[in-house]
Amino acid sequence: MPSLEELRAEVKGEFFLREELSKHNVRKVDAMADVIIKPGSRKDLARLLSLLDRSGYPHVVINRKGRVIFPDRRFHGAVVVTDLKI
């Protein structure tokens, strides 16, 4: 994964490390994420996804209403939380 400093330099938004998704108003998901990223705009979302894809870092995009089940109640990678239209 790109370093947190690299991501912050390229993507405007909020970044959180090792937090429960429920703290971020994500309903129906009882899990902790290594990294939670909330991009500030659609442009930032596209840039973020490109960076994560190129680096091969595991990631998933969900919105606040989404239902996602993580096998061990933890996602080992970045969770992008957004209600932006893609």
pTM across the whole model:
0.77
The pLDDT of 59-85, averaged and rounded, is: 75
Q: Is residue 78 scored above 80 in pLDDT?
A: yes
User: Which residues sit opposite 19 in a β-bridge?
Assistant: 33
**The two three-digit tokens of residue 58, written as one number:** 């595991």
Output the CA–CA distances (angstroms, integers) from residue 71 to 24, 68, 74, in the order listed.
20, 10, 7
Distance CA 72, CA 76 (A): 10
Q: Is residue 80 scored above 70 in pLDDT?
A: yes
Output the CA–CA distances (angstroms, integers) from residue 67 to 14, 30, 64, in the order listed.
22, 10, 9
pLDDT at 16: 94
Domains and CATH numbers, the chain: 4-81 (3.30.43.10)
Distance CA 7, CA 28 (A): 28
User: Per-residue pLDDT tens for 3-59?
Assistant: 889 999 999 999 999 998 888 888 777 788 899 999 999 999 899 989 988 998 888
Write down the number of H helices and E strands in the chain: 2, 4
pLDDT at 75: 79
